[in-house]
C-alpha cells in the first residue's frame, strides 16, 4: 500500500538540500519549483510573492512561460491566485478556467492547463504569497497532495521572512512582509517613541523546520502535549480558581483544545510529512489563524486568541523558550508590543531602555497605563491586530499624542517624527522653565500641584517638574516587583529613601493597595468574578492585619522625627476607616513600648473612590485629617464602567455633567469642614480636565510628573473666577444642548488658555 507521506518527506529532504547549496536566489527558486513539480507529478509549479503594493508577482515557474517571471502580476482578490491570497485559503479545481474568478494572463501560456491546486504561503497567519501546481488533464487533487503543498509553502514562507528574495526583487519595490503599516489606536499617554519592537510574549521563531526522525518528533510532541495538559488540569484543580466564571471558562477552552483529537491529528500528520514538532505546531496554528481571522463573531475571535495562547504554550514547551534570554537581548530603544499586560510585568523590563508601550487591549485608566504614564512612557492602546503584524526587532514609531502606530515606517516618516521629538523636547524645556514659577492663576488663586509616584526612579522628577510634593505614593509597586514579601526592615529602608529623595517636600503614602488586577506573585488571593469589586485594598488589609501592621510599623519607624501622611484606599464605610486608624494606634503603642522614636505628626486620610462615601461625606470630613479623591475608580464605580474595558470605559465622559456634579459635591463638603482635599486621578493630568477641576473648586491636584508643565502653563493663563461663573451654572442646565467639554474648549479658545 502506498505511504501518502513518503512523497512530502522526499520533497522536503530535497528542498533542505537546495536551501543548503550555494546558489543565487533566482536559481534556487527555479530549482525549488522544478523539484515541487517533479515530486507532485505536476506539469506546472508557480511561486507568487505578495509585494508591499498589494500585487502578487510571479517569482518562479516550472511549466509556464519563463519570460513571465517578474512580469506576470495579479492584485489581491484578482484571479485564482489573488482569491487564494485574499482569503488565505487553499483552492483545488479540476477545471480552473470554468471558475468565475479565473483571469487569463496571456504572457504565462497557462490556457492549456485545466486542473489547479493553490495554497497561501502563510507566516503567523499573514499571507506572504501563493504556491500553485497545475495539470493539463482535469483531475481532483488528493488531500495528501494538498497537505504536501501546504507544508512546502511553509518552507517558502521562511525564505521570504529571512530576506533571501531581496536580491531578486526589482529596484523600488518591496515585499509585503517589510511593508510600512499604520495602525490607528487610542492615545493613552502623551509622547512619541521611536525604536524597535519587542513582543511582550514573542512568537517562537522556529528555525528547524525539517525532521530527520519521524518517531522521535512524534514522541517529543506527545511528551510536550502531556506536560501541557497536566499544567492546565493543575490550574483548573487549584482551590484559588473559582468553580465558575470567566477565568474558568478560558481554562476550560484551553483544556478542550489541548485534548482535541482533530488538532493532534493535524500536528501528527504534519510531522509525518517531514516537519519537526515545532514546525508542525506553527503550521497548524498559522492555518487555523488564517481561516479564523476573517470571522466577525466576537466569541469565535476570542476562541482564536485562546487557541493562539495554547499553541504558543506548546511551542515554549517544545523549544525550552527562555524569557530571561529575551531580557538579555533587550534593545536600547524598545517599544513593547502586547495584547495586554499587568503593571508588574511592565516593571520587569529595563526601564531606561523603554521608549513606548503598545497594547491591543486595555483602557486609559487600566493600571499598566497608569504606571507607564508615571514612568513617562508613551502609550497607545486598542491597536487592533498589531501583535500579529509585528516581528521582534521591527522599526516602530509609537505616537502617544495622536494614538497611531507606524510599523516599519518609511525614511521620510521617521525623519518627520525625529523632528517632532526634537520639537517636543524644546517644548519640555519651556515647561521646565516654568518649574520655579508659582502656580497662581491670573486672578490670584494659588494652586498646589503635586506628582504621583511609586518607585524611587520617579523621585528625581520631583525637582525637575517643580511639583510641591508627592500627592500619591503607590506603596504597592515595591511589593509587585519583589519576589518575596518585603520584611519590615526592607520596607523601612525603602520609605526612608523615599523621604530622603523627596528633599524635604511632603509625601503622601497610600497604604498597600493590592488585589483586583494588582497581582503579587507570592500572595495567593482568591480568584474572583469581579475583582475590582472584591477582596482588595483596605478590605484585604483589615482581614489580614499582619500585612497592614508590618507596613504601618515600617512607615512609623521611617518617618521618626518628621511627619507621616498616610491614606487608606478603597474605603467604603466610615467603620473601615476607623478600624484602619485603630491599627495605627496599636502600632504607635507597640513602638513606644520598645523605645522607638515616632513621627512628630501623623495625618491619616481616606481615598474617596467608592460612591457609598457620598452619603457619608460629613462624617468622613470630620474623621479624616485629609481626603484624596481617586477619580479613576470613583468614575468606574459611579458609571458602572470597567476601567480596563475600553468598550464601556470610553462610553462615558469624565467631563460629563453627572460625574462633575459628584466631584463638586465632594469639594463643597470638604470646604464646609475645612478638610484638605486633593484629586490624584488621571483627570488631573490633562490641561482641559484639570481646568474643570479648578472651576469646581479643587485647589490641590496630583498627576504624573510630565503633566505638571502643561497643567501649570494652563492655570497661569486662567481666570478661575471667570471660569466658575460660566461653568457652574452649566452643570445644572438640564436643557443644555452643548456638553461641558465643548463649553470648556470654547472658554479656553476665547481666553487664550493653552491646552
| Arch. (CATH architecture) of 214-322 | Orthogonal Bundle (1.10)
Strand partners, 362: none
d(CA 464, CA 354): 20
Q: What cell was used for 278?
A: 515545532
Tell me the Cα Rg of the chain. 31
The candidate with the shortest Cα–Cα distance to 221, out of 338, 134, 319, 132, is 319
Query: How confident is the model at residue 207, as a pLDDT?
Result: 66
Contacts by residues 203-206 (CB-CB < 8 Å, ≥ 24 positions apart): 203/124, 203/312, 203/315, 204/278, 204/282, 204/312, 204/315, 204/316, 204/319, 204/321, 205/392, 206/276, 206/278, 206/279, 206/282, 206/315, 206/319
What confidence score (pLDDT) does residue 253 get? 62
Classify 683 in phi/psi space as left (phi over 0), alpha (psi -120 to 50) or beta. Answer: alpha
CATH topology of domain 435-750: TIM Barrel (3.20.20)
d(CA 716, CA 690): 12
pLDDT digits (tens, 9 = 90+) for 196-254: 998 887 666 676 777 888 888 899 888 888 887 887 777 666 544 444 444 455 556 66
pLDDT, residue 2, reads 46
Q: Which fold has domain 181-200+339-425?
A: Glucose Oxidase; domain 1 (3.50.30)
C-alpha to C-alpha distance for 520 and 481, rounded to whole angstroms: 8
Q: Where in the chain is the domain with CATH 1.10.274.10?
A: 214-322
The cell numbers describing 177, all together, are 512582509
pLDDT of residue 347: 73
Cell of 366: 487600566
Fold of 6-178: Beta-Lactamase (3.30.450)
Which part of the chain has CATH 3.30.450.40?
6-178
Q: Strand 91-93 and strand 192-199: pairing?
A: unpaired
Asked if 494 and 477 count as a contact pair (C-beta separation under 8 A), the reply is: no
The three cell numbers locating residue 64 = 509556464
Low-confidence ranges of the chain (pLDDT < 50): 1-2, 239-247, 325
DSSP 635: H
pTM, full prediction: 0.61
CA dihedral 537, 539, 542, 548 (to 10 degrees): -10
Give CA–CA dist 598/705, Å, rounded: 31
Q: Tell me, what's the pLDDT at 444?
A: 96
Q: Which of 327, 688, 370, 405 is nearest to 517 (CA)?
A: 370
Residue with cell 517632532: 420
Nearest to 610 by CA among 626, 624, 630: 630
Asked if 345 and 366 count as a contact pair (C-beta separation under 8 A), the reply is no
Spatial separation of the C-alpha atoms in residues 685 and 352, rounded to whole Å = 23
Q: Which residues are catalytic?
A: 367, 680
Beta bridge partners of 126: 123
CATH 3.20.20.60 residue ranges for the chain: 435-750
Amino acid at each position: 500500500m502506498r505511504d501518502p507521506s513518503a512523497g512530502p518527506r522526499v520533497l522536503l529532504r530535497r528542498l533542505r538540500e537546495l536551501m543548503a547549496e550555494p546558489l543565487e536566489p533566482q536559481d534556487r527558486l527555479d530549482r525549488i519549483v522544478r523539484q515541487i513539480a517533479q515530486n507532485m507529478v505536476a506539469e506546472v509549479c508557480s511561486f507568487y510573492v505578495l509585494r508591499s503594493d498589494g500585487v502578487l508577482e510571479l517569482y518562479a515557474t516550472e511549466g509556464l512561460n519563463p519570460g513571465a517571471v517578474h512580469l506576470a502580476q495579479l492584485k489581491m482578490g484578482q484571479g485564482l491566485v489573488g482569491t487564494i491570497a485574499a482569503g488565505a485559503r487553499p483552492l483545488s479545481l479540476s477545471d480552473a478556467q470554468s471558475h468565475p474568478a479565473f483571469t487569463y494572463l496571456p504572457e504565462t501560456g497557462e490556457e492549456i492547463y485545466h486542473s489547479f491546486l493553490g495554497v497561501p504561503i502563510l507566516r503567523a497567519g499573514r499571507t506572504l504569497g501563493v504556491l500553485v501546481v497545475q495539470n493539463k488533464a482535469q483531475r481532483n487533487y488528493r488531500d495528501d497532495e494538498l497537505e504536501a503543498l501546504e507544508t512546502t509553502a511553509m518552507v517558502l514562507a521562511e525564505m521570504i521572512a529571512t530576506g533571501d528574495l531581496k536580491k531578486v526583487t526589482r529596484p523600488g519595490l518591496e515585499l509585503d512582509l517589510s511593508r510600512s503599516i499604520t495602525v490607528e489606536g487610542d492615545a493613552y499617554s502623551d509622547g512619541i517613541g521611536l525604536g524597535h519592537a519587542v513582543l511582550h510574549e514573542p512568537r517562537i521563531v522556529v528555525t528547524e523546520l525539517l525532521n530527520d526522525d519521524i518517531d522521535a518528533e512524534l514522541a517529543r510532541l506527545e511528551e510536550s502535549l502531556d506536560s501541557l495538559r497536566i499544567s492546565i488540569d493543575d490550574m483548573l484543580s487549584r482551590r484559588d480558581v473559582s468553580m465558575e466564571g470567566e477565568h474558568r471558562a478560558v481554562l476550560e477552552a484551553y483544556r478542550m483544545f489541548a485534548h482535541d483529537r482533530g488538532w493532534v491529528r493535524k500536528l501528527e500528520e504534519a510531522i509525518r510529512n517531514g516537519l519537526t514538532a515545532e514546525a508542525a505546531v506553527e503550521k497548524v496554528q498559522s492555518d487555523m489563524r488564517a481561516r479564523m481571522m476573517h470571522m466577525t463573531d466576537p466569541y469565535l475571535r476570542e476562541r482564536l486568541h485562546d487557541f493562539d495562547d495554547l499553541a504558543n504554550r506548546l511551542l515554549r514547551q517544545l523549544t525550552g523558550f527562555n524569557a530571561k534570554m529575551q531580557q538579555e537581548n533587550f534593545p536600547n530603544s524598545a517599544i513593547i508590543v502586547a495584547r495586554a499586560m499587568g503593571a508588574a510585568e511592565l516593571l520587569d523590563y529595563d526601564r531606561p531602555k523603554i521608549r513606548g508601550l503598545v497594547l491591543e487591549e486595555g483602557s486609559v485608566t487600566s493600571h499598566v497605563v497608569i504606571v507607564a504614564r508615571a514612568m513617562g512612557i508613551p502609550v497607545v492602546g486598542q491597536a487592533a491586530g498589531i501583535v500579529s503584524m509585528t516581528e521582534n526587532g521591527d522599526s516602530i514609531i509609537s505616537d502617544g499624542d495622536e494614538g497611531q502606530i507606524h510599523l516599519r515606517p518609511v525614511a521620510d516618516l521617521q525623519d518627520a517624527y525625529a523632528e517632532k521629538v526634537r520639537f517636543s523636547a524644546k517644548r519640555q524645556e519651556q515647561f521646565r522653565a516654568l518649574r520655579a514659577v508659582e502656580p497662581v492663576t491670573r486672578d490670584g488663586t494659588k494652586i498646589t500641584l503635586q506628582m504621583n509616584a511609586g518607585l524611587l526612579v520617579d523621585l528625581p522628577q520631583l525637582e525637575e517638574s517643580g511639583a510641591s510634593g508627592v500627592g500619591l505614593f503607590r506603596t504597592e509597586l515595591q511589593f509587585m516587583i519583589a519576589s518575596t514579601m518585603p520584611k519590615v526592615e526592607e520596607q523601612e529602608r525603602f520609605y526612608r529613601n523615599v523621604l530622603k529623595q523627596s528633599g524635604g517636600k511632603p509625601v503622601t503614602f497610600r497604604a498597600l493597595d493590592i488585589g483586583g488586577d494588582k497581582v503579587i506573585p507570592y500572595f495567593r488571593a482568591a480568584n474572583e468574578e469581579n475583582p475590582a469589586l472584591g477582596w482588595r485594598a483596605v478590605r484585604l488589609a483589615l482581614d489580614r492585619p499582619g500585612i497592614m501592621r508590618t507596613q504601618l510599623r515600617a512607615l512609623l519607624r521611617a518617618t521618626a522625627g518628621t511627619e507621616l501622611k498616610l491614606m487608606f484606599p478603597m474605603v467604603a464605610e466610615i467603620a473601615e476607616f476607623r478600624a484602619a486608624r485603630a491599627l495605627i494606634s496599636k502600632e504607635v503603642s507597640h513602638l513606644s513600648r520598645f523605645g522607638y522614636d515616632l513621627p512628630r505628626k501623623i495625618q491619616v486620610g481616606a481615598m474617596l473612590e467608592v460612591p457609598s462615601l457620598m452619603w457619608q461625606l460629613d462624617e468622613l470630613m470630620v474623621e479624616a485629617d485629609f481626603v484624596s479623591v481617586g477619580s479613576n475608580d470613583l468614575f468606574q464605580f459611579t458609571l458602572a464602567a470597567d476601567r480596563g474595558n475600553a468598550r464601556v470605559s470610553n462610553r462615558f465622559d469624565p467631563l460629563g455633567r453627572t460625574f462633575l456634579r459628584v466631584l463638586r459635591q465632594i469639594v463643597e463638603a470638604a470646604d464646609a469642614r475645612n478638610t484638605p482635599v486633593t484629586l490624584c486621578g488621571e483627570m488631573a493630568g490633562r490641561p482641559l480636565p484639570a481646568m474643570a477641576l479648578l472651576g469646581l473648586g479643587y485647589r490641590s491636584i496630583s498627576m504624573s510628573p510630565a503633566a505638571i508643565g502643561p497643567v501649570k502653563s494652563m492655570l497661569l493663563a486662567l481666570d478661575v473666577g471667570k471660569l466658575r461663573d460660566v461653568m457652574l451654572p452649566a452643570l445644572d442646565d438640564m436643557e443644555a444642548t452643548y456638553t461641558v467639554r465643548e463649553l470648556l474648549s470654547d472658554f479656553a479658545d476665547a481666553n487664550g488658555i493653552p491646552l
